[in-house]
Amino acid sequence: MLMVLLTCGVNCSIESMCSPYLFFAKTQNESEGTMVEIGKVDYSDFEVDKSAAYPTLKDRVVIITGAGQGIGRGYAHYFAAQGAIPIIAEINGEAGEKVAEEVRTKHGDALAIQVDVTDLDSVTNLVNQVLSQRGRIDCLINNAAVFSKITMAPFWELPVDEWKAAVDVNITGAFYCARAVVPAMQEARWGRIVNVSSATFLMGLPNYLHYITTKSAMVGMSRSMARELGPWNITVNTFWPGVMQTEIERPSVPNERFKEYTARQSLQRQGTIHDLAKPVLFLCSEESSYITGQSLQADGGLTFV
């Protein structure tokens, strides 16, 4: 049996786990060529777009961190709809169990496990529980990140504790999770690791040094991991989502800033969970078996590499 595991990596002092699953979206009135605000979109009861079909994901065990809300929660539904088994590993146990129950009701098997990705013992316990209860781990999606209510400030005024929190979750947490799952993947001689970065790091945004630095570091980490894990048929890639105003970002980034980012994109709309989930499905499928050490962007043309 194969399975999907989703974890939230933020420590208890960071408020990002319990909000409703909400997004903001914009669309373009093609006839007039103007931007039209369509406001808040409630994804609490969204339906998975089943046009994406990856039969090789059936029964896969996939680890996705940060799945108690937002994009990670959407990943859980999308993987389950493909027949995979999401394990929602979440620091907020109540939020994680709620997502697991949603997935079980709509799609099939799911398991919630409470974890703090900044704590190596907690991550080790998570992996042990997954192996004990589901028997294997096929994929890891390092999606957990510190962003909620972070301070926007020049780096010389940035609180040191916020710098450390970003490093602990965004980089060290991803390292801990990858380190913990690799032995099971090596034994199976198959695995997928997707490290979720952000297309915004290419822009060198001012006042977000801690976030931008840690998200860019994930690219180098992924490439080194890909070099080392290739002999075991384990691929490692980085996924760069673009602008998507989830409940995690909303407290930290003014709405006007999101409008500005959207206006810069080639595609004049904000992304949805459907736009971001499908590329991750691909990177975890057999169809991506010859792709490793690469970065896949889904940002509506905000940045070009």
* Residues annotated catalytic, as ranges: 211
Q: What's the farthest any 2 CA atoms get from each other in the chain?
A: 58
Residue 28 near residue 110, CB atoms below 8 Å = no
3-class state of residue 38 by DSSP: strand
DSSP strand E in the chain: where?
Answer: 4-7, 22-29, 34-42, 61-65, 85-90, 111-114, 139-142, 191-196, 234-241, 295-298
* Separation CA 63–CA 5 (nearest Å): 3
Q: What is the DSSP letter of 265?
A: S
Alpha carbon distance 198, 143 (integer Å): 10
Place of tokens 């297309």: 199
